[in-house]
Amino acid sequence: MKNITAAAFFALIILSGNLSLSARSASSGDELSDLSMKKGIVLVRITTIHYNDLLPWRAQAGSGYTVLGLVLEGNRILVLSSDIQNASLIEVWKYSSYKKNIAKIEKRDNEANLAVLSINDPDFFKDLKPIESGRDPHMGRVVTASTVDNDFRVHREDVKITDVRGSSDFGVTTIPFLIFRTQEPFSGGGLLLCGIKLCGFIGYSNKENRAEAVLPSIIRSVQNGSDHPFVSQGFELEDLEDPVLREYFKIASDQTGAFVSRVMPGTSAYGVLEEGDIILNIAGRDIDDRGFYNDPKFGLQKGQVLLVRDGDRIRRSGEIIPVTIFRNGRKMEVKITLKSYEGNAERIPTVVEGKPPYLVESGFVFVELSLPYLRDGYGSSWRSRAIELSYLFDTKRIMEKPGKERIILLVGVLPDEVNRGYENLRSIPVQSVNGKPITDLKQLHDILSASNPKHFLMELTSGMKIFFSSENREMANKRIQDRYGLPGLSNFK
């Protein structure tokens, strides 16, 4: 091959640059413009109220932060439910005006961690337009992650969908989310765009810039559905790879399936599936020995997801799903009628709305164990800092039958002559009072309010026993309430 001249070499560079520029220009028509994106989003400023864990009656100024909201049809705005938790004020503004408008919560679904806001001023939405929703992106697809700063300057970067994972972090309902990584943090949220269409709503990003996004099909369900548009599966699966376990359940070597380790009250599976069932097939899809099925679009997915979605369609309450199981040595088919979660499966709540329930009796302060209590009281490392409470969360969070049972903690003591010697007690579960197991605050209040007996024995899970008298109880409670400026001695929900 002949040597290329310097002039020809630079000519090729210029030509290649022009070709590259032409290619970007040609593809730019397939991307949502900055203006169209700005018309489809708003910024939401949230000011919260914080309740002290040891002083649950005291409301304190919480944090203030800004997140991105997605404009929906019908003059509504989509945000994460967790972002507006304990919100005292929600303000919204748009690209064309710095005026902040007060928003109110129209509906929220804590199980799916999504909420819808509305604004009273109808003129607010006049120059806004919802971005057209696309199909759920498949795993491995490269999409555009976009967000704006507080001045609505647009930031974009290409990201790759690395996983689609079912999660039940906010309750008992498994919802699929898109997983990807970004170069820049998307801490305030953002959008995933597939060309000119919306293909995800970014709702979470951690310190390693691992992000999660809500699927378009989920967004459409929130927009078009009821207050609780998602069905609850209500069961947990464990792998059945152990040959000894397979032999015990008499599972053939060529048969795959997963072990039902828990069935949750008030959910679709409750009363149909049983602990110990082996699930072989759900809705015509075989379940492998780890509890997964092979989704043609998303790859390996939890078997529970089959009760949430059918392709790009989100399933609705009332649908009947056939499930093939192996029970008591016999293969059989059962049918699960889908329904939304009734809210009575959690002994340890993952979400607490507003002022937490509490009881103050003879200076002893009692609250319900909850995930917000663990996070607020012990931080992100609560599992290592609160070993006993962490164990209770993992083993006792879900009840065996529907109810309102709770784990009650003695979180602190307001010093007074009636509780002298117990002032340093902190965060210990209450086991019983006078031999009666304690299951909720109202029950504890009723026991301690009784005129007989005159003395009480309260036992804690640590083994400690607390003795105190009920004589002059009302006088002591009034004295403690006045001394510490308590607005009330109890808050029951």
* Predicted pLDDT of residue 276: 92
| Measured distance CA(206)–CA(187) in Å, rounded | 8
Residue in the block written with tokens 């210029």:
14
Mean pLDDT, rounded, for 301-330: 92
Q: State pLDDT tens for residues 23-33.
A: 333 334 488 99
Closest C-alpha to 488, from 356, 348, 358: 358
| Measured distance CA(469)–CA(453) in Å, rounded | 9
Closest C-alpha to 434, from 402, 468, 400: 468
- The domains spanning 29-225 and 358-491 adopt the same CATH topology: no
Q: In the predicted model, what is the mean pLDDT of the chain?
A: 88
| Measured distance CA(145)–CA(162) in Å, rounded | 14
Give 188's pLDDT tier (boundaries 50, 70, 90). Answer: very high
* Predicted pLDDT of residue 225: 66
453 versus 472: the higher-pLDDT residue is 472
Q: State pLDDT tens for residues 146-162.
A: 999 999 999 999 999 99
Mean pLDDT, rounded, for 433-459: 90
Go through the chain and tell me how many residues it has.
493
* Predicted pLDDT of residue 61: 81
Neighbours of 262 (CB within 10 A): 16
C-beta of residue 217 within 8 angstroms of C-beta of residue 242: no
Considering the segment(s) 235-337 as one domain, its CATH architecture is: Roll (2.30)
Exposed, middle or buried, 402 (CB in 10 Å: 0-12/13-18/19+)?
Answer: middle
pLDDT(303) > 60? yes
| Measured distance CA(414)–CA(480) in Å, rounded | 8
| Measured distance CA(360)–CA(490) in Å, rounded | 6
| Measured distance CA(65)–CA(43) in Å, rounded | 10
Q: Domain 358-491: state its class.
A: alpha beta
Q: State pLDDT tens for residues 72-86.
A: 999 999 999 999 988
Q: Which two tokens stand for residue 9?
A: 């070499």
The ranges assigned to domains in the chain are 29-225, 235-337, 358-491
Q: State pLDDT tens for residues 328-346.
A: 889 999 999 999 998 899 9
Q: How far apart are the first and last CA of the chain?
A: 85
Residue in the block written with tokens 């337009």:
129
- φ, ψ of residue 167 to 5 degrees: the values are -135, 145
DSSP label at 398? B
Closest C-alpha to 306, from 237, 220, 253: 237
* Predicted pLDDT of residue 26: 30
Give 451's pLDDT tier (boundaries 50, 70, 90). Answer: low
Q: Which of 45-54, 330-339, 367-376, 388-397 has the lowest mean pLDDT?
A: 45-54
* Predicted pLDDT of residue 425: 93
Closest C-alpha to 258, from 246, 267, 248: 246
Q: Which of 75-84, 166-175, 275-284, 378-387 has the lowest mean pLDDT?
A: 166-175
Give 377's pLDDT tier (boundaries 50, 70, 90). Answer: confident
pLDDT(350) > 70? yes
Mean pLDDT, rounded, for 352-377: 92
Amino acid (1-letter code) at residue 36: S
| Measured distance CA(419)–CA(109) in Å, rounded | 42
* Predicted pLDDT of residue 236: 92
Q: State pLDDT tens for residues 254-264.
A: 889 999 999 99
Q: Which helix (H) or strand (E) holds 43?
A: strand 41-51
* Predicted pLDDT of residue 14: 37
Choosing among 2.40.10.120, 3.30.1740.10, 2.60.120.10, 3.90.650.10, the CATH entry for 29-225 is: 2.40.10.120
* Predicted pLDDT of residue 2: 37
Instruction: Extract long-range pairs of 49-53: CB within 8 Å, 24+ residues apart.
Output: 49/86, 49/87, 49/88, 50/86, 51/86, 51/355, 51/356, 53/367, 53/373, 53/376, 53/377, 53/411
Give 131's pLDDT tier (boundaries 50, 70, 90). Answer: very high
pLDDT(248) > 60? yes
| Measured distance CA(356)–CA(379) in Å, rounded | 18
| Measured distance CA(38)–CA(347) in Å, rounded | 43
- What three-state secondary structure class fits 266? coil
Beta bridge partners of 361: 364
Closest C-alpha to 413, from 491, 460, 480: 480
Instruction: Extract long-range pairs of 295-299: CB within 8 Å, 24+ residues apart.
Output: 295/164, 297/136, 297/138, 297/139, 298/138, 298/139, 298/164, 298/176, 299/139, 299/163, 299/164
Q: What is the pTM of this model?
A: 0.84
